[in-house]
Amino acid sequence: LSHWDDQAEHQREIDNHKLAEKKRKAELLETSIRLGEIKRPRKGRLGPETWKLRGAARPAAEIYDFDLRYKCPHMKEFADHKEKQGRMRNVLTTCKGQFGIEESDWREEKNSKSVPQPY
């Protein structure tokens, strides 16, 4: 491991926390339904995003090959990668000269402002 991204790691932790919270709520709902405390919630009416439109009601993007709102996925991926590269930190340069040193020695040398170099 020579590179890491703090923001991506933080986002992964948030996603894991949200997923665990969602699972906990689903389990709580299932147990309360099984015990008969509450009734199973109804699905309800399907919204317009599921409707299949025909004729003149269909949007032009479904009929024709072009769409003015098109965003190139490759350019978006390139921009995301460039942004991530700006956030990345190189472990080898960040901790240069601090590998293989006992913690007590490192503190003493840090106070004396001499950075130990591996030769």
Q: What is the pLDDT along the chain (119 residues), one digit of tens a residue?
A: 567 778 888 999 999 999 999 999 999 988 988 888 888 878 888 888 888 888 888 887 777 776 667 788 899 999 999 999 888 877 778 777 776 666 665 555 555 555 555 55
pLDDT at 17: 97
Quick one: tokens of 29? 């709902």
Say if residues 9 and 87 touch (Cβ distance below 8 Å). Answer: no
Cα–Cα distance for residue pair 55/63, rounded to 1 Å: 10
Quick one: tokens of 36? 């008969």
Provide CB contacts within 8 A for 7, sequence distance 6+.
84, 87
Element (H, E) at 42: none
CB atoms within 10 A of CB 101: 15
Say if residues 82 and 64 touch (Cβ distance below 8 Å). Answer: no
Q: Helix, strand or coil for residue 4?
A: strand
Cα–Cα distance for residue pair 50/46, rounded to 1 Å: 7
pLDDT at 64: 78
